[in-house]
Structure 1
Amino acid sequence: MKNYTVLTTFILVGLTDDPNLQILLFAFLLITYLLSVIGNLTIITLTFVDPHLQTPMYFFLRNFSILEVSFTTVCIPRYLYTLATGDNTVTYNPCATQLFFVIILGVAEFFLLTVMSYDRYVAICKPLHYTTVMNYRVCLRFLIGCYMIALIIVLPPFGMGFELEFCDSNVIDHFGCDAGPILKISCSDTELIERFVLVLAVLTLTFTLVCVIMSYAYIIRTILRFPSAQQRKKAFSTCSSHIIVVSITYGSCIFIYIKPSAKEGVAVSKVVSVLTTSVAPVMNPFIYTLRNKQVIQAFKDMIKRVASTMRN
């Protein structure tokens, strides 16, 4: 018979115990969170109201911004609350809920980036068929497919996680509920679920990355055949923002999650995680807008309309 009490409340270690560093960290995360929300909501608003941005590319960009806002909101506000109040405890159900949405949104983001690369492939390599191939119904199906595939991938290991027992330690060495640190403190045998998660992560990253690389291989080959240097420059400029975002997303995820075992140390991964959940969502709106004249013009037009309305 089991002679221990199953734990249902966890303690989040966070990033630092230094009060001065905690103040700086709180200010940093609050600023980046607000900038992320404002930046992504601006893109969402512009792609809704501006008629020039009613294209498949901006449809996917809008939904990518929705994903970014959702992802950072799942992670950062809870940690801000911990830093502000000193309450670093979390019960089982909220912890499981946070973990579920972090993984779902993260996996969906990879598939959405893959769809966005396919959209650029059709736009550049098959421009005459673009409006037919990437019509609204197809775009909507792609979007729903991203979330459905994410659910199919995440639900089996997440269901296995409910069988884990926590009886020895309740201290999660992270600022939020993440899979690795949770597996680390479980008193159950985690080898099977670790291997399962690793296989799913590798397959997801490999499949989506191969699709992105193939899309851009065809895109680059097509662009290099353009007779005009101006055409080539414009085409590369259209794709460069997406390439930068893909590099940041894949690079950070590979660094954090592709490890032999969740029992390994997570100190460096915590720092990368907080940058991924706070800085990356801030960078993405600026990466897409600063390199996109259409979005910049749409933003200027919206500011003029707002200013005109306020004057009247």
Structure 2
Amino acid sequence: MLTEMENRTSVQEFTLEGFPAIQHLGKVLFLVHLLAYLASTAGNAIIVTITCANSRLHTPMYLFLSIFSFVECGVVSAVIPKLLVIFLLGRQTISFPDCFFVFVFFFPDCFIQAFVFLFLGAAAFFLIAVMSLDWYVAICKPLHYPTIMNPKICFLLVTACFALAFPLITGLLVKVSLLSFCGPHVIPHFFCELGPLIHLSCSDTRSVEMLALILALFIIFTSIIITIIAYSNVVITIMQLPSAKEKKKAFSTCSSHLIVLSLMYGGCVFIYVKPKQTNTLDSNREAAIVNTVVTPLLNPVVYTLRNKQVHQALRETICRMKTSR
């Protein structure tokens, strides 16, 4: 028993491998990722701010979008700051305390970083499903929309997204924290990603890997199935519109959404649901970059910043700020 405890606490920190093949471009990569991070957080923060400030946007659609933007800010902030430190300063270590429930600024602790990323990521997938349902009701049942998507239902749907994600991810991370880590300490990734972390354990990880796969399948494919059903009905309804101009406009919005969803779903399926292979670590990192940098950067543009109503609300907010000075 004593030996097991010693093994479990023998690794006090891990080393994040990052991108060793291009590490010599650290300062250039730091600048690129810093600009992407600032643009992503600024875009999503603008969506949250104008939705709260402008009463015209106090509708279910913009409520879900603002919460989704807030979640996206949390996801990128859990991962990118540590990546920036790796690129700029070469500090690749991340702490690994015995206790899972420890909070450190900017999530340098391995378990905390993994928890924040997975919890908010899971909540984001459930929110996408809710947003798809909202759009389905708005397009396919417009007369019943105010009754179906009333404030109480919206609150329950949002609460359900986080309430469902929390126990799933917490249970998985607690199970991982009970593994023994007594051997290799280099994580072949740029953040504390769960798959590479589990593979470093010197315990029997079959049950944890199976649990992780089941949860990934449940979270990702539940969201995908709901989204496909909702969008299929939306497309059928759009096809029945009498005006070709209305069809073109609706399909333009629909295709933009589907591009972002394809990037997000595709990256996560590739990372978490594909069969275990030892020669795809670089591909995993590339897919993770898409999910943590590219997709959060595109979301504000695709979902709302192209929206005329959001543009109007943004102009009104800026005018009010100038007037109040």
TM-score of the aligned structures, taking structure 2 as reference length: 0.89
Partners of 1:289 and 1:155 in 2: CA distance:
32
Q: 2:231 aligns to what? A: 216
Match of 1:15 among 12, 19, 38: 19
Number of the residue aligned with 1:305: 320
Contact 1:108 1:147 in 2 (8 A): yes
TM-score w.r.t. length of structure 1: 0.92
Counting only pairs closer than 5 Å after superposition, residues 1-312 of structure 1 correspond to structure 2 as 2=3, 5=7, 6-16=10-20, 20-93=24-97, 94-261=109-276, 265-310=280-325
CA distance in 1, matches of 2:46, 2:22: 35
1:63-110 Cα distance to aligned partner (Å, 9 max, x none): 010010000001111221233332211111410111111111111111
In structure 1, the partner of 2:101 is: none
Do 1:173 and 1:181's aligned partners in 2 also have CA atoms closer than 8 Å?
yes
Change (3 A) 1:19 1:152: closer
- Identity over aligned residues, as a percent? 40
User: What is the root-mean-square deviation of aligned Cα atoms in Å?
Assistant: 2.0
Q: Following the alignment from structure 1 to structure 2, what is the Cα–Cα distance between the partners of residues 81 and 72?
A: 14
Conservation of the 8 A alpha-carbon contact between 2:172 and 2:211? yes
Q: Which stretch shifts more, 235-244 or 194-203? A: 235-244
Contact 2:238 2:250 in 1 (8 A): yes
Per-residue CA deviations over 1:251-304 (Å, capped at 9, x if unaligned) read: 111122222227554122112212321222111111123531111222233333
Contact 1:241–1:291 (CA under 8 A) maintained in structure 2: no
Please give the per-residue CA displacement for 1:105-159, whole angstroms capped at 9, x wherever unaligned: 1111111000000000110111111111111111111111001111232233222
Structure 1: 5+ residue stretches without partners: none
- When residues 223 and 285 of structure 1 are mapped into structure 2, their CA distance, relative to the original with a 3 A threshold, is same
Give the total of aligned pairs.
310
The 8 Å contact of residues 180 and 263 in structure 1, kept in 2 or not, is answered as no
| One-letter amino acid of the counterpart of residue 166, structure 2 | L
